[in-house]
Amino acid sequence: MDLRLNRVDYIQVGVTSQKTMRLLPPLGKKATQKVAIADHDGILTCFGIKKGEAVPVFKTLPGQKIARMDLGGAAGTPQEKIFVCSGSQVRGFTKKGKQFLTFEANLTESINAMHVSGADLFVCASYIYNHYCDCKDQDYYLSGDKINDITCLSTENLTHLVPVLACQDRVLRVLQRSELAYDIEVPGPPSVLELCKDQGEEILFGTTDGKIGLVEIGELSAATKWEIDNDKKKGGILCIDNYDIIGDGVNDILVGRDDGTVEVYGFDSSNKPTLRFEHVLSESVTSIQGGCVGKESYDEVLTATYTGWVTGLTTEPQKAEAGPGDEVRMSKETQSKVEALRAELEQLQVKVLQGREQYQQTSQSSTAVSAVPVFSINDKFTLCQDDASYSLTLEVQTAIDNLLLQSDVPIDLLDVDKNSAVVSFSECDSEQPNGNFLLATYRCQANTTRIELKVRSIEGQYGTLQAYITPRLQPKTCQVRQYQIKPLSLHQRTHSIDQERPMNRLSLVGQFSFAEIHSWVVFCLPEVPEKTPAGESITFYFHNTFLGTQLEATYCKGEGHFKSDNISTISILSDVLSKEATKKKINLNISYEISDDSVSHTLNMIHPKLEYQLLLARKVQLIDALKELQVHEGNADFLIPEYRNILDESANLLEEYKKQPAHLERLYGMITDLFIDKFKFKGQNVKTKVSSLLEILDNYDLNSLLDFFNEA
């Protein structure tokens, strides 16, 4: 990493959405650029920087929350007209702030993605895509899953405009007029798309699980050029831009993530992206742009964060270094800046004191009514593929005081390195009808606006996880957010499965509609779009992130077929689907085809995980005894290499063991469920033999376990 950038904070506006800040084109080659940013208060602010201070160009009046911003203009001219969308309305402003367009798209839902290209306007709302030319309706498309972003290719090589949609079901959909031309499978749910400024037919994408890639779009098919994995478990991608910040003549990739990480990727001689710079801000980065803002001839990476801070990472040197006894002369500009900041601080302190006194007086008055302060929360509850756990991220516009987690299903809380909050657990009575399995309180340190937690659920146990968020505001208020833990919560959507594996089958036939069975599948499995799919029937593929087993769900009106190599998955589906049908008073005809080979296949898949956890537990048990021996003997040279290795690695082993509480019990539980489910389908109750199974697991050997399953 050879790039040095210095941080400068410019201005704070209201809470911002993804992709709501843009740099207007420069007037000269190295001239500074104006910044346009829109926020949730509906205010569009345009400002420039003079002598390090933000100077407003224009500011619109408050209104409905602004969800997206794009720049446009006639083809071949500077793209300096500002377009913003709020609700189902698109407005256009000149660079001086004069409004020249108000266009009502007449959509039932709010626009969440927008792209402007010449006279063409492309907007998306949840599942709907619309294309307008000169404000006249042109094309329409209904997507199979939620649309997160849109961009459009228009180059000489392509005969027409090619819109590309980033959809939640891990595909990029390439359209031709109102039809789907083809789709491109990507490694995670894509959250953002960005055109490559150098090459016309290439698109950068970022996913919610933190991966980045480049695809080349053709008329009939696309090719993936490269992908960057998220090995370091950083946050999801919220914004991408390309700009030559390094100054080597090749556009670099600027990336903003939802954990506050800002990254710059440069290209090496083999044209592969490599990380050149990284900086971590305290909140999620909603927009990122490359340009020249603070001072002429100095390039910078400009970012906007969730709470509305506009921050620059500039190539301009900021520090003057002095040795002992040296004097540092402050420039007049810096002196006046310091004096202005001091005066502003004093004014703010006076304002705060006045506000406090006023609040004290009104709180004692008998006629005054206490108003609940409104605050916005940005939350995300996603399944992480790597460790089969759910990541819950909460971000509030002011500091969080405390967070209470309550769950009516058994879940484990896992350790997160980034989380500095103090956690305490309360006793729960899960035997009660509406009893809790988990009550945990996180007390946050001062100025914490973002908190990340990890939880792991048990498949087959379903219910609700509730988060009560209390910020440091007066009067004390709290917002509640609910997250559904689904029966097959550890399953994740995938593009295809291995058909060679031994499969168990579950078939349902009954008087139910396509919408009804779809709603049951949505209730059972994550990542299924809530809207009933178009067409007569649908097939979804899933894989279990914990075990690696798979599931295929195909259903239509009146029948549903489910195939899985894990008998417990079929058992859970059977129980939940029949319960849901009973609620609707629908009579179901259920049939099964059980494969005995699938049980040994699943045990073989559990085997490496179980072996690893048993070995880890054994090593951790030995650590204390080995340390005592080491102290007693003065050194560890007399120990065999295996034990010496355990001592050397003791810190890592203990940390890993602490990070995975109840991992072994979880695997034991899965094997026990598998045992009970295998015989449940044969009409036998083997719960009395579970104690013998646990004895075998305590002295684990795969062959003796397989024998026990076959003989029982």
Tokens of 541: 């593929």
- C-alpha 266, offset from chain centre: 24
Reduced to 3 states (helix: H, G, I; strand: E, B; else coil), residue 328 is coil
Q: Average pLDDT for residues 531-548, to the nearest whole number?
A: 92
- What does 75-86 look like in DSSP terms, one character per residue? TTS---EEEEEE
What is d(CA 416, CA 630) in angstroms, rounded to the nearest whole number? Answer: 32
| pLDDT for 49 beyond 80 | yes
Q: Residue 319: its pLDDT value, please?
A: 65
The answer to whether the beta carbons of residues 49 and 293 sit under 8 Å apart is: yes
Tens-place pLDDT, residues 500-524: 999 999 999 999 999 999 999 999 9
Please name the residues in contact with 415: beta carbons below 8 A apart, sequence gap of 6 or more. Answer: 454, 658, 659
What pLDDT score was predicted for residue 76? Answer: 81
Cα distance between residue 605 and residue 667, in whole Å: 11
Query: Residue 23, exposed/middle/buried by CB under 10 A (0-12, 13-18, 19+)?
Result: buried
Segment 242-251 mean pLDDT: 88
Residue, of 438 and 322, whose pLDDT is higher: 438
Calculate what percentage of the chain has a pLDDT beyond 70: 96
Residue 328's pLDDT is 66
| Under 8 Å between Cβ of 587 and 510 | yes
- Mean pLDDT of the region 287-311: 92
Does pLDDT of 159 surpass 80? no
pLDDT at 156: 65
Residues 6+ apart with CB under 8 A from 561: 505, 506, 507, 508, 553, 554, 555
Which has the minimum average pLDDT: 168-172, 364-368, 412-416?
364-368
Higher pLDDT, 630 or 265: 265
pLDDT at 323: 63
Q: How far is CA 166 from CA 381, 486, 702, in A?
A: 19, 25, 45
Structure tokens at 160: 């027409």
Residue 8 predicted with pLDDT over 70: yes
- Residue 600: strand, helix, or coil: helix
User: CA-based Rg of the chain, rounded to a whole angstrom?
Assistant: 29
C-beta of residue 237 within 8 angstroms of C-beta of residue 191: yes
Q: Range with the lowest mean pLDDT among 180-189, 497-506, 691-700? A: 691-700
Angle at the Cα of 541 from the Cα atoms of 540 and 546, rounded to 5 degrees: 135
pLDDT in tens, 372-392: 778 899 999 999 888 889 999
142: confidence class by pLDDT, cuts 50, 70, 90: very high
Lowest mean pLDDT among 261-265, 344-348, 683-687: 683-687
Pairing of strands 35-38, 21-23: antiparallel
Task: Report the 3 state secondary structure along 492-519.
Answer: EEECCCCCCCCCEEEEEEECCCHHHHHH
With contact defined as beta carbons under 8 Å apart, do 194 and 234 qualify?
A: no
pLDDT, position 69: 95
> Count of CB atoms within 10 A of residue 646's CB?
19
pLDDT of residue 556 exceeding 90, the answer is: yes
Task: Specify the pLDDT at position 405.
Answer: 94
Q: What is the band of 27 on the pLDDT scale with cuts at 50, 70, 90?
A: confident
The percent of residues in the chain predicted with pLDDT above 90, rounded, is 57
Q: What is the pTM of this model?
A: 0.88
- Write a three-state SS string for 287-303: EEEEECCCCCCCCEEEE
The predicted pLDDT at position 306 comes to: 94
The residue among 173 and 201 whose pLDDT is bigger is 173
**688 DSSP assignment:** G
The span from the CA of 178 to the CA of 192, in Å, is 22
- Domains annotated for the chain, with CATH where assigned, are 12-232 (2.130.10.10), 377-485 (2.60.40), 491-594 (3.30.160), 597-711 (no CATH)
Residue 369 zone, left/alpha/beta (φ > 0; ψ -120 to 50; rest): beta
What pLDDT is recorded for position 1? 54
Residue 355 pLDDT greater than 90, yes or no:
no
pLDDT at residue number 526: 93
Mean pLDDT of 144-153: 93
Highest mean pLDDT among 25-29, 296-300, 433-437: 296-300
Rounded CA-CA distance 207/224 in Å is 15
Q: Are the C-beta atoms of residues 657 and 600 closer than 8 Å to each other?
A: no
- H helix and E strand count, the chain: 9, 43
pLDDT tens-digit readout, 111-128: 999 999 888 999 999 899
Q: What pLDDT sits at residue 434?
A: 74
Residue 146 has a pLDDT of: 94
pLDDT tops 70 at residue 98: yes
Mean pLDDT check: name the lowest of 133-137, 189-193, 503-507, 648-652: 648-652
pLDDT exceeds cutoff 90 at 339: no
423-450 pLDDT tens trace:
999 888 777 777 789 999 999 988 889 9
pLDDT at 327 > cutoff 70 = no
Q: Rounded distance, CA 627 to CA 644, Å?
A: 10
- Using alpha carbons only, give the angle 482, 485, 491 rounded to the nearest 5 degrees: 135
CA 423 to chain centroid, in Å, comes to: 23
Q: Which helix (H) or strand (E) holds 441?
A: strand 438-443
Mean pLDDT confidence for 197-206? 83
Q: Specify whether the CB–CB gap between 212 and 228 falls below 8 A.
A: yes
Which whole number is the average pLDDT over 440-466?
A: 92
Task: Look at residue 650 in the predicted model and tell me its pLDDT.
Answer: 79
pLDDT surpasses 90 at 665: no
Q: Which amino acid is at 229?
A: D
Residue 241 three-state SS: strand
- pLDDT, averaged across the chain: 89
Task: Quote the pLDDT of residue 39.
Answer: 95
Encoding tokens for residue 676? 């009970």
CB distance 130 to 144 below 8 Å: no
In the structure, what pLDDT confidence band is assigned to residue 618 with cuts at 50, 70 and 90?
confident
**Measured between alpha carbons, how far is 545 from 529 in angstroms, rounded to an integer?**
19
